[in-house]
A = this chain, B = another copy of it.
């Protein structure tokens, strides 16, 4: 039998899942995050994930997820959930766009410290999982919507004069790229001073966005 419900529900309503099923799914997703962060996307397999999760067979994974892509979407969703939970309150507590920008960058780096594998796994998956066909229901989509939202916020700040004029899309993606680069580097270099990197990065983009007129 095929997995009863995929991770991205394009059909009606959220899937009903029993407690055990949800627990199993979460267990598998966590294992997947760990394996992807440790070995990289290319060397990740159901077998390694099952081993990491303490499962006896890969059949279990296929049972709970519609396929590799489905599992990866679930990984993305989980990391997004954790990231949102971690970032949103911090960011929304800030008084202005400039502070929010700084908080966004520094909180991303803080997330990297608190959940070292989550962002690494996210970057790996998004880099490797190009949306093929029209079934792009969760990969980059959720990431894209976040970035669109940030871009809109930036545009607001430009209107109020807090930020200078610049292409917000380029800016948002540049910030994302710079953060992801730190994520990748943190993997290689465990001695990297993340806090300092976050602060410097925040300074950098503060300068780049601030209105100096």
Instruction: List B contacts of A57 (CB < 8 A).
Output: 1
Q: Assembly of this chain: how many copies? A: 4
Residues of B close to A96: CB separation below 8 A: none
Judge whether B1 and A50 touch: CB under 8 Å. Answer: yes
A: number of interface residues (CB 8 Å): 46
The distance in angstroms between the C-alpha atoms of A162 and B45, with both chains bound, is 50
Distance, CA A42 to CA B45, complexed state (A): 11
- By the criterion CB–CB under 8 Å, are B188 and A173 in contact? no
Shortest Cβ distance from A130 into B: residue: B40
Residue of B nearest to A123 (CB): B127
Chain B CB within 8 A of A17 CB: no
Residues in chain B near residue A65, CB distance under 8 A: none
Cα(A127)–Cα(B178), bound, Å:
14
Q: How far is the CB of A108 from chain B (nearest CB, A)?
A: 12
